[in-house]
Amino acid sequence: MKFMVDRDVLADAVGWVARTLPTRPPSPVLSGVRVKAGLEDGGKITLASFDYEVSAKVEVAADVEEPGEILVSGRLLAEIAKLLPARPVAVQLEGPKAVVTCGQSTFTLLTMPLDDYPSLPGLPAAVGAVQAGEFAAAVGQVAVAATRDETLPLLTGVRIEIEGENLTLLATDRYRLAIKELTWKPASPDASRIALVRGKTLSEVAKSFGHTEEVQVSLSVPGVADIIGFAAAGRETTSLLIDGDYPLVRKLLPESFDISAVMAVPELIEAVRRVSLVADRNTSVQIGFEQGEAVLNAGAGDDAQASEVLEAEVSAPISVAFNPQYLLEGLSVLGTSHVRLSMNSSTKPVLFEGQVDGQVRPDYRYLLVPIRFTV
């Protein structure tokens, strides 16, 4: 095998593929990136990785002199490619080693046995396409509510619901719920599918495709395989779906609310950040709503304390307390100038919705359970 490729092209491609490599692979070969050089389409190289759960593959144009295939350490190749000088990179196989040359720099990498590497899964049938930037933003709004606790595997996922032209993403960690609705282009007008994808994986996929125009979404046939796939701009990635019955989280949304408050998002975020400096993981940020203002407090007793007053449009007095991290994460992904908080009592879930020019945007909802506090 022997080929030459632009340094920036190689660095971008291997960096994208290597992002999915496991930190502690159960087998050494799973830390590798498979590099295949072919003469088809005027010459190209294909880089791929797979850890039995997530796969990634990218094709880029290259000047291929001798076709072939190797398996080398993915993270090492990514680091090398990133730091090489801005000149063409030559890669060739010499016995059991791959030699990478760029200008006056030469690296020799030991190859791993290809026979021990698993075959990559193919993309399932396409079920639709979504605008990449909009999809990335939607995943970012919802994935914050997925738990990081691996002992609750179902709740580490983001549930994807497809009903015709409507695509809904939702996630919960039992303390909050995020729901995002958007339109997309289904492959069939009567499409109806459900998939549960690891939130971390979906976030990485959405970010990596964010610079493209459109992302094709693929889903395996139920009962045959449990794989979801995404493809755009010569890149493909697949992931195993999470198996299990997701909780009926929509019933957590109250049918109506008695009290509302509207505040400017940037000012509220900055105020929460300031007062939460004195709040540890066991304390909360309290917000007391009065007519025309909201008073934020944190800390109590002999410990450090903080207080700040902000303008607010309030329908009735109420006080609620929140986990400051959950509060900030929800506010930070709203994407609007103002937020509307809808409440029923100090102990019932509070609904956060973005508001623009006095109008609530119903496509995104963030429901947060308050923390009980004593006055």
The pLDDT of residue 374: 62
Cβ neighbours around 375 below 10 Å, total: 6
3-class SS of residue 118: coil
User: pLDDT of the chain along its 375 residues, tens only?
Assistant: 999 999 999 999 999 999 989 888 889 999 999 999 999 988 999 999 999 999 999 999 999 999 999 999 999 999 999 999 999 999 999 999 999 999 999 999 999 999 999 999 999 999 999 999 999 999 999 999 999 998 999 999 999 999 999 999 999 999 999 999 999 999 999 999 999 999 999 999 999 887 889 999 999 987 666 999 999 988 999 999 999 999 999 998 999 999 999 999 999 999 999 999 988 766 799 999 999 999 999 987 677 899 999 999 999 999 999 999 999 999 999 999 999 999 999 999 999 999 999 999 999 999 999 998 765
The pLDDT of residue 85: 95
The pLDDT of residue 228: 96
Exposed e or buried b for every residue in 306-338, given b needs 16+ CB within 10 A?
bebebebbbeeebbbbbbbebbbbbbebbebeb
**CATH top-level class for 2-116?**
alpha beta
Residue in 243, 219, 231 with CA at minimum distance from that of residue 156: 243
Residue in 100, 91, 98 with CA at minimum distance from that of residue 114: 98
3-class SS of residue 66: strand
**CATH top-level class for 253-368?**
alpha beta
Own/partner contacts of 291-299, CB < 8 Å, gap of 24 or more, are 291/317, 294/261, 294/263, 294/268, 296/271, 296/272, 298/324
Cβ neighbours around 125 below 10 Å, total: 10
The pLDDT of residue 282: 67
* CATH number of the 126-250 domain: 3.10.150.10
Q: For 286-335, how does the pLDDT look when each residue is reduced to its tens digit (9 = 90+)?
A: 999 999 999 999 987 677 899 999 999 999 999 999 999 999 999 999 99
- DSSP string for residues in 81-112: HHHS-SS-EEEEEETTEEEEEETTEEEEEE--
Each domain of the chain, given as residue ranges in start order, spans: 2-116, 126-250, 253-368
Residue in 259, 339, 269 with CA at minimum distance from that of residue 308: 269
The tokens describing 128, both together, are 């639709």
**Do the domains spanning 126-250 and 253-368 agree at the CATH topology level?**
yes
The tokens describing 91, both together, are 């890669």
The pLDDT of residue 174: 93
Side-chain half-sphere CA neighbours of 299 within 13 A: 13
| 312 neighbors 261 (Cβ within 8 angstroms) | yes
| Cα(49)–Cα(68) distance, integer angstroms | 17
The pLDDT of residue 20: 86
| 366 neighbors 176 (Cβ within 8 angstroms) | yes
3-class SS of residue 249: helix
The pLDDT of residue 283: 79
| 71 neighbors 120 (Cβ within 8 angstroms) | no
The pLDDT of residue 303: 76
The pLDDT of residue 281: 66
The pLDDT of residue 375: 52
